[in-house]
A and B are shown apart, each in its own frame.
Chain A
Amino acid sequence: MSGQGDLLHVVTADNITPARLRLSKAVVWGAAAILALVALLQALNANGQIDLGFTNWRPTLYAFILWSVALCWAQVLGKGEYGKRSLFVLPAALFVVSMVVFPLIFGLGIAFSDWNLASPTGRKFNGLDNIRQMWGDPFFWNALKNMVWYVLAILPEYAIAFGLALLLNAQIRARKFFRVAFLMPLMLSPVAVSWMIGKSMLEVRFGPISRLAREVGIDNPAFFSSPEIARFMIMAMDAWTYIPFMMIMILAGLQAIPKELTEAAKVDGAGSWRGFWEVTFPLMLPVSITAILIRIIFKLKLADIIINVTSGGPGGATDSVTSFIFREYRDRSNVGYGTLLAMVYLVIIVIAMTILMKLADRWMRPKF
């Protein structure tokens, strides 16, 4: 969006006196010193060298917040107008860095240790044992394989979403009603969905869908006992929740296409089928790819429905990586191994998404 210079040019007449500059430096370093001191005292306290009566690490947290505030204040003190501008981005940046980067580094440390939160022995560094355990863990690889299936299920979802968006974009009455109705599934919490559909509507004896299946002639409808059907059911429930999301993005794209283009195609003699494939669809390519990429990102987090409906069963057939790690922690409260799995998953995701984004970039460039 930007890149070369400010979009908003502001002429500033800052005369920052040396005293003010010194004050700003003093504020930052003073606060940093307090933070370091508090952290040091707490570390000593935690190791049992001195006893200051700290029960938790809150004081360090407060010192960190103090330092962050001091840093923001010092920007204005030391840099004047420019500092006021950086104040726009600085709070969010500090927040994200402290909430993501720090825990990630900390998590790397946990990933290479054997740490059972329930046991009193605490954390033991165990080198590459966790990686070895992961290599031989069939359930983890199975979960990864399931994730591939779940991600592939996005394509039919996309086709349905595109179809619905086309219908909503057509000349219809009561469009607002249909839009609200179609949006509804997205508003519902996956946990409620997993009860409403997974646990009650698909219930074998009394659920309406099971009744319907019996009417149709399936004697013993069981939706969660064979691996393939169970996986399909999870996919369907997830699709039910998220199709509106893609539908709305595609609808927005469709509405942004100038009417002249489709009309010109019609004048040139294109039927609705050819008009779609040769005009609308290519024009929608960038939007489609954005929608699919975002949907993949959401899909990779899929867990709530699985945890609540099947908890991975039968035999791990419906497990996603997230739900697997969740159970791994719930059952054995082993933080170390779970974190390692999560880290590996993150690496796989980052690599896969980078490749996908590069490919998407190439596809999105117009060919003609």
Chain B
Amino acid sequence: MTDQIFHDSATDRGHRAKWWTSRILIYGILLVWCFICLFPIYWTITTSFKMAPDVMKGNMVPWVDFTPKWLGWRSLGLSPDTIGNESTVRDEFLKRFYNSAVISVSASSLAVVLGSLAAYGLSRFSYRFGFMKNDDISFFFLSQLILPPVVLALPFLVLYKSLALLDTRIGLILLYTLTVLPIVIWIMRDQFGSIPTELEEAALVDGLSIWGAFLTIIMPIALPGMVAAFILSLVLTWNEYFFAALLTSTNAVTLPVMVASQTGSQGISWWSMAALSFAAILPLIVIGILLERFIIKGMAAGAIK
């Protein structure tokens, strides 16, 4: 008696087949899109270890198609044998990297501080500045988002020239703070809106001042939102190119400007361009992998109301 007694009926088997096709389809599309997203990054990493013949032959897979060489990284002064030595290329790169880091971190911190305070105030009290009430003030802040950078760029060029802020880090920090402030306020307003006011009421009854309640009770609760806002600002300011290209020339040049200025001049020496591009995007790739959930949280803040 090897015959099976209990069978799936024909309709059920059809269902199974349908389930399998849908699975294959879903994972197929996901994998294809994954490839689209990750291939340029893979390409950049591998190209930075190639030499001229590898580039021309179109070799793709390291150790199989070609032997990785430190050529590209050496031209930046970042390969293992040159990283310890003083060299102009290395100092140049480190200076740009340092500029980018200082500018993006300070601008994001400043924006988070200013933006959280404003968002907290707007979510708790009713204000009246002249004719502007709370909703108008919120709209005033958020409307900065639609201001395209070109509108501010040229007036700022002239203003900064007369203020001697051209080509300084402070100048860029101020501008970047301005560009990310609306986003921070948007995220934080959402965040504070979801915290019940009873918390502060209890704190106030217990004798804390309103600033004391904000700093000791509300801030810790809103911290994840602040981190999300900070990281989102960090990504935007690290990548900013337009203002940096217009307002800096030698001292305060950031990494994107450095990458852009090298694209034309290098011709076919792709390995050094690839190394430079990859060094410029590496910090953000690391942040993206480690802090992905904060970024998603930050961006989702606007979506659900």
Contacts and interface: CB of A to CB of B under 8 A. Distances in A.
A190 B302 contact: no
A359 interface: no
A326 interface: yes
B147 A346 contact: yes
Contacts of A350: 146
A187 B259 contact: no
Contact of B303 (A2, A107, A191, A250): A250
Interface stretch (B5-13, B68-76, B83-91, B157-165): B157-165
B249 interface: no
Contact of A192 (B58, B256, B288, B289): B256
B56 interface: yes
A188 B281 contact: yes
A85 interface: yes
A4 B134 CA distance: 10
B-side binding surface: helix, strand, loop or mixed? helix
Given A187-B281, A191-B239, A345 B151 contact: yes
A1 B159 contact: no
A246 to B, nearest CB: 9
Contacts of B175: 99
Given A89-B118, A184-B288, A103 B181 contact: no
Interface stretch (A21-29, A196-204, A261-269): A196-204
Contacts of B115: 92
Contact of A89 (B122, B246, B256): B122
Contacts of B280: 189, 191-192
B151 A343 contact: yes
Interface in A317-352: 321-322, 325-326, 329, 335, 338-339, 341-343, 345-346, 349-350
A195 B163 contact: no
A95 B178 contact: yes
Name the residue among B155, B200, B268 with the largest chain A CB count within 10 angstroms. B155
B163 A200 contact: no
Interface string B130-157: 0001110110110011111111111111
Contacts of B153: 325-326, 329, 342
Interface in A84-132: 84-89, 91-93, 95-96, 99-100, 103-104, 106-107, 110, 115, 117
A-side binding surface: helix, strand, loop or mixed? helix
B33 A184 contact: no
Name the residue among A1, A92, A181 with the largest chain B CB count within 10 angstroms. A92
A290 B302 contact: yes
Contacts of A195: 259, 263, 273, 277
Contact of B40 (A81, A197, A249, A342): A197
Contacts of A194: 260, 263
A3 B257 CA distance: 45
B123 interface: yes
A287 B304 contact: yes
Interface string A167-207: 11010100010111111111111111111110111000110
B287 A187 contact: yes
Contacts of A93: 118, 129, 137, 140
Nearest to B123: A1
Contacts of B150: 303, 321-322, 325-326, 338, 341-342, 345
Given A100-B144, A195-B259, A325-B150, A201 B124 contact: no
A79 to B, nearest CB: 12
Given A92-B115, A189-B284, A208-B58, A301 B296 contact: no
Nearest to B262: A195
The range of chain B's interface size is: 35 or more
Contact of A191 (B185, B214, B259, B285): B259
Contacts of B157: 117, 329, 335
Contacts of A345: 148, 150-151
A8 B141 contact: no
B37 A185 contact: yes
Contacts of A167: 26, 29-30
A196 B44 contact: yes
A133 interface: no
Interface in B256-288: 256-257, 259-260, 263, 268, 270, 273-274, 277, 280-281, 284-285, 287-288
Interface string A247-287: 01111110010000000000000000000000000000011
A284 B180 CA distance: 27
Contact of A7 (B58, B125, B299): B125
B131 to A, nearest CB: 14
Contact of B299 (A8, A103, A206, A249): A249
Contact of A303 (B242, B277, B302): B242
Name the residue among B120, B161, B303 with the largest chain A CB count within 10 angstroms. B303
Contact of B121 (A85, A256, A290, A300): A85
A95 B292 CA distance: 30
B155 A107 contact: yes
A61 interface: yes
A55 interface: yes
Given A110-B158, A335-B158, 10 more contacts: A7-B125, A57-B163, A183-B296, A184-B41, A196-B41, A200-B273, A249-B299, A253-B304, A325-B150, A342-B153
Interface of A: 1-10, 55-58, 61, 81, 84-89, 91-93, 95-96, 99-100, 103-104, 106-107, 110, 115, 117, 163-164, 167-168, 170, 172, 176, 178-197, 199-201, 205-206, 208, 211, 240, 244-245, 248-253, 256, 286-287, 290-291, 294, 297, 300-301, 303-304, 307-308, 321-322, 325-326, 329, 335, 338-339, 341-343, 345-346, 349-350, 353
Q: Which 3 residue pairs of A and B lie closest in terms of their CB atoms, listed nearest first? A: A88-B121, A252-B300, A189-B239
